[in-house]
Amino acid sequence: MHMNLLQGTMDDCIRIDEVDYPIHTDFRRWIQLETVLAEPGDFMEKLPMLLALCYKELPPTIGKAIDGLLQFYIGTGAEQGGQEKHCRPVYSFIQDEMLIYAAFYQQYGIDLSKASLHWWQFKALLYGLTAQTQLVRVMGYRAMDLHSLKNPEEKRFYKRMKALYKLKHIPEASMREEDISAAIERLF
């Protein structure tokens, strides 16, 4: 995978065994993919839909197709920010849809209903959102470690905010990774 947003180079193919397989790069597809992954259910049942969301032409080796899909989804630079740093998710594309839309419009002037963004561009902009947006404030409430707070009033405030903005029915990222790994092992 090669990404250099500053030079305008972003993959639109996944290379498997020296062959490039064209993929859908629009951020909406990858949001849909993440949404499908977050839904309850067996990964193997979701696999055909996940592959169809990603690939324009399906590679012959399913295991390598899944690996390519996951590498593209994570992208390079994912460790720089966002949800990957937390054990528990701090945002949901379903539950936070309006907050995400508003944050992009507020900070960047981007109307996500009309925007044409590569998945990696979208993720970079998402990770670059500031505390001036309600989305980032809500994510901060969700991520706050209540045990680290000494002030009782501050602790009560964050406890209320965590309850108010709690994500509903979202498995931990590690659980999704375990489910995916187990499903891939069952293929072979």
The four Cα atoms 59, 63, 68, 70 give a dihedral, to 10 degrees, of 140
Residue 177 has pLDDT above 60, yes or no: no
Could you tell me the pLDDT band of residue 82, with boundaries at 50, 70 and 90? Answer: very low
Q: What is the mean pLDDT of residues 29-48?
A: 88
pTM: 0.80
Q: What is the mean pLDDT of residues 94-121?
A: 97
- What pLDDT digit, counting tens, does each position of 11-22 carry? 899 999 999 999
Residue 124 has pLDDT above 70, yes or no: yes
Residue 65 has pLDDT above 70, yes or no: yes
Given this model, what pLDDT does residue 11 score? 84
Given this model, what pLDDT does residue 3 score? 59
One-letter amino acid at 113 equals S
Could you tell me the pLDDT band of residue 42, with boundaries at 50, 70 and 90? Answer: confident
Q: SS3 sequence, the chain?
A: CCEEHHHCEECCEEEECCEEEEECCEHHHHHHHHHHHHCCCCHHHHHHHHHHHHECCCCCCHHHHHHHHHHHHHCCCHHHCHHHHCCCCCCCCCCCHHHHHHHHHHHHCCCCCCCCCEHHHHHHHHHCCCCCCHHHHHHHHHHCCHHHCCCHHHHHHHHHHHHHCCCCCCCCHHHHHHHHHHHHHHHC
Given this model, what pLDDT does residue 83 score? 44
pLDDT higher for 70 or 134?
Answer: 134
Average pLDDT, the chain: 84
Given this model, what pLDDT does residue 146 score? 94
Residue 103 has pLDDT above 60, yes or no: yes
Residue 151 has pLDDT above 90, yes or no: yes
Sign of CA dihedral 175, 181, 186, 187: positive
Given this model, what pLDDT does residue 168 score? 86
